[in-house]
Structure 1
Amino acid sequence: MMSTADRIELRHVRAFLVLAQELNFRSAAERLFITEPPLSRTIAQMESALGTRLFNRTSRSCELTEAGARLIEPAARIVQILKEEFRPLQEATASGPLRLGVLIYNNPLKTEKLRADLQRTIGRKVEVRLGRTHELERSMKRGELDFAILQRPLHSTAGGVTRLATAEWVIGLQSIHPLAAKKALQLSDLFAFDRLLFQNRRDNPPLFDHVHGEIMRRTGRSPTYTAIKELFEGQALIAAGAACALVPETAKGFSQDEITILPLVPEDQIRTDICLMSHPQVSDACLMETIRRTARDFLVQDCGLAA
């Protein structure tokens, strides 16, 4: 018959500590890069092994029981001891670069700051690959990336996915166009231009359908799209006043003399979540939490996105 010690694994202890900090299954699951059902099962297994409840659950949150509160200190001590014992091995084996995919819409100067911050924090070389969501997803599937900062909706959720921040969509237009004098635009203003520059639907159907659906729902009309692969690939069309572009707000740093970027009015805002995907073979929970925290701070503090 297995003893209590044999039935409790490190994953149980780590899940318990994160849930004890968050007191919310959804938030804890995101930090652990899993979904809520596996987290709930892990906690239930630990409670069964110990023969006592560690949390009192409600529909939206949970609270520590007396037994759970007593367990925090020894559980944290166990994790710390393991960290200290395994650190020399991790330092010896984690010599290769960490490969991070970042959305091409991020300002290159800010992306370089993210790379430098990560490299300094984890003490390991960080290589950044820029791309659009579907391109970075493919690189992840091929095993060419360890982590990627992507834009929902995604083609797949293979590997761990956790939300980092929320981005609003903005419009890039000719700086001398009459609409450029406004502080914010309506979605109906898109139809003042012959074309709307946007990603090709075949590249990322979920994202295209989400944004197009919002435009149709709020205006009842469909724009004439011209597909672009990179930000302001059609900048000559924009500068000539023949087209506008719809891009995430992380593109604000790309403004230039001929092109102005304006937000949408509150009632017409389109939002998408920016998330972090980890490769299925990445199992270092401490590394994942460090990447998640650093990427979130970068998006919120440096790029101005909503947490």
Structure 2
Amino acid sequence: MAYVEANADAYITSGTSDEAGHLSWLVFLAVFTERDPRAFGESSLDLISRLESRFEVAESGLFGTVDDYTPVTNQSLAIIALNAAGADVPVGALAWLQAQQCETPAEQAGGWQGYRAEVTSGVLAACLPATSAEFNRADAASTSFALQALAAVGRVDDPAILAGLGWFHRLQSAAAPAPGGFGQYIGDPSDPNSTALVIQAIRATDDFNLDGWEFGAGDPEASMNAWVITSGPDAGALTSPYSAGAADLYATYQGLWGLTQRPLPTVLVGPVPEPIDGDSPQVGDPSTPVAPSFTG
């Protein structure tokens, strides 16, 4: 933690097109280590104010800037982070995120891709088909983060969440070596990173259980466990489709999210915007840790 606190300023802008996402990760860290996200690190960074300053800098309702891959992820992380810290989540931010959900083509309905641009006033481009070779088609990560963001503010019964869970069922793979898990895109075999992210979203939104997700010869939990190295010097690490049976650092750290079956901080602590569809928000799992108070 001392290293992170000393280098927080550099991390915020390092290797990213916009700092909203990195600010959100630091807010998560501050909340769960009981540090003040409004006075974080050696330079007492106000992570919340800085994150809020990224709202609508490029587009109405959006945190951060626009590219083909990251807006939905950054938006979702910002919503979860603000809520976890007890800060207001702008109504427009939730409206933007819900509008980005895929409606067409049919096989992508309910998922989220990295970004849908406006083609005419108030009309967004259709999502890319599952057969597209473009890497910014609807994917496990964008959809998982979006669903966790909606769950974070209590919308666990929102039709958008039900549609997203339906997209996950189309994403699920029966292929070996880890059947029952999820790939990055529809049609992909399972990988540990995507499976971990989807487990987080299911836990956050689907009544906090994995019942009903058996598929082929496995289920998400069994698929996740299939990647764990059980013997030798790398025991406990995860392998991946890209590591030829060897330990994979990226799969290991992200895979822990799925192995522990814990979503990102989706606790209802901040003021909740009025639901877009007029339905009453639903409070999430009461066992989720509550963000600490930093004002005594």
TM-score category of the 2 structures, normalised to the smaller one: under 0.3
Higher RCO (CA < 8 A, seq sep 6+): 1
TM-score using structure 1 length: 0.27
Name the larger-Rg structure: 1
TM-score using structure 2 length: 0.28
Higher helix share: 1
Higher strand share: 1
